Amino acid sequence: MRQQKALTLKTLNKSNVWDIQENDVFRIWEAAEKESDLKDNVRHYADIIRSAFDIEEIKVDRPEVVSKYEARGFKVGLVKIDDNAKVKWAIKKRPILRVTDLTYENIRHISAAKLLEVIERNFGGGWESLSQSVQDIIERGFDISTTTLPKDRLHKPGGMYEKKVHDGYEVLEIAKGTWVEAIFAKEKPKTEESPKAKFEPKEVPEKEETPQDSTEEEEEEDVVVEDHYNEPDEDDDDDTFDEDKLTEESYRTTYDEDPETLELEASEMGDEEEY
C-alpha cells in the first residue's frame, strides 16, 4: 500500500501500473499537472498507462455518450494535456482473461487463483498445452508443479495433492478421461530487484593471464601422443627364457599330470640311464 501511495507519473512504469485502478490514474495525473515538464512527457506517460488500461478520448461530450462508456465499465475524467486545455478520457483496466494477456509486467500482479482461472478458461489440454513463452512468463511469478493420476488416486491421503494444498498452493484439476491432471500454483515471493537486474547476465571477471599460464597452455598444445602400435612387444626383443617370470600358476597350467606319476617316471628314466 505504501508503494501505491508514493506512485507519481514520474515513478510509474509498465510493471507497477498494474497496481493502480482507474481512479488512481486521474488522481496521479492531476497531481502532475502542476509540473512544468508534463507537456513534454505526455506521450510517454500515456503509453505507460495504456499498457494496463484502455484509454479512449471522448470528443463528443454529451451525457448519453458518457453513460455508454460508463455502462461498459469505463471511468470518465478530465486530464490536462497542454497549458491551454483539458480533454476527457474514458479509462478501463485491461482484463486478464486469456493466457495471451499475460506478460512479464503483469504476471506478479495477479493471484494464483486468478492464474488458474485464466489457464482453465483458455486451454483444456493442461500445462503442456501452453506455449513455452507463456510457461516462461507464468514461472516468472509462480512456482508451478503438475501431476497426472487416476481419479481415485489423486486425493490419496499423504499424497502430493494433500502436501501441496497444505503448503499453500492453489490447484486446478483438468479431467483427462479416467485420469486427472492437477496443476499447482503458488506465488513466488516478491523481491526488490529492478527489471534490469533480472535480465542482465552477471559479469564474470576474466582471469589475468600470467607468463607461466601461457607457457603451460603452449606445452599442453605441443603434447604429441606417441604411437606404439607397430612396435614389437617387449617379450619379443629377448628370446632368452627367463625362469623368474614363471609363477606357480604357470607350472600348474603347463603340467596337468599327477606329480606322483611324474616322480615315478623320472625314477624309471634314471634307471634306464644306468644301463
Listed residues 93, 116, 148: the one ending a domain: 93
The rounded distance, in Å, linking the Cα atoms of 130 and 264 is: 90
The rounded distance, in Å, linking the Cα atoms of 92 and 22 is: 6
Listed residues 164, 187, 210: the one ending a domain: 187
Q: Which domain holds residue 75?
A: 2-93
* Chain CA centroid to CA 259, Å: 76
Q: Residue 162 pLDDT > 80, yes or no?
A: yes
Domain count along the chain: 2
Instruction: Return the number of other C-beta atoms located less than 10 Å from residue 33's C-beta.
Output: 14
Helical spans, DSSP H, in 131-258: 132-141, 151-154, 160-166, 195-199, 211-221, 234-237, 248-254
Sign of the C-alpha dihedral, residues 137, 139, 141, 145? positive
Contact 96, 78 (CB under 8 A): no
Segment of 51-55, 156-160, 254-258 carrying the highest mean pLDDT: 51-55
For residue 214, give the 3-state DSSP assignment. Answer: helix
Same domain for 45 and 111, yes or no, is: no
Same domain for 7 and 62, yes or no, is: yes
Tens digits of residue pLDDT in 77-128 = 999 987 778 899 999 999 999 999 999 999 999 999 999 999 998 767 789 9
What size, in residues, is the chain?
275
Contact 20, 28 (CB under 8 A): yes
171, β-bridge pairs = 184
Same domain for 116 and 67, yes or no, is: no
Return the C-alpha cell found at 166.
497444505
pTM of the model: 0.64
Same domain for 89 and 113, yes or no, is: no
